[in-house]
């Protein structure tokens, strides 16, 4: 069963409580999403490390219940 946007946001917020998150369903199928995540936890980390924090928050469901996630990460202004 696909993961819905609310569950994606909930998991990211649990791991990164200060995060500002915007999630878009790219195909309307509940299986392909784009997410923008802004968090102070990303400061000083490479883009790869930032993405790894988000993927870790998804608890291994990336590629399974969550088929595709286009990810943009950044630190707050």
Q: Which fold has domain 5-74?
A: GMP Synthetase; Chain A, domain 3 (3.30.300)
Output Rg (C-alpha) for the chain, integer angstroms.
Answer: 12
Nearest to 25 by CA among 9, 12, 10, 39: 9
Could you report the per-residue pLDDT of 8-43, keeping only the tens digit for each?
999 999 999 999 999 999 988 778 899 999 999 999
50 φ/ψ angles, rounded to the nearest 5 degrees: -60, -45
| Matching residue, tokens 């993927």 | 55
Band the pLDDT of 4: cuts 50, 70, 90: confident
Residues 36 and 74: their CA atoms lie apart, in Å, by 8
């Amino acid at each position: 069963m696909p993961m819905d946007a609310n569950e994606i946001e909930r998991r990211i917020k649990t791991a990164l409580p200060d995060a500002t998150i915007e999630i878009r369903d790219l195909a309307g199928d509940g299986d392909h999403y784009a997410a923008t995540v802004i968090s102070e936890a990303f400061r000083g980390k490479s883009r790869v490390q930032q993405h790894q924090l988000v993927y870790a928050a998804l608890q291994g469901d990336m590629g399974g219940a969550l088929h595709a996630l286009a990810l943009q990460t950044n630190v707050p202004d």
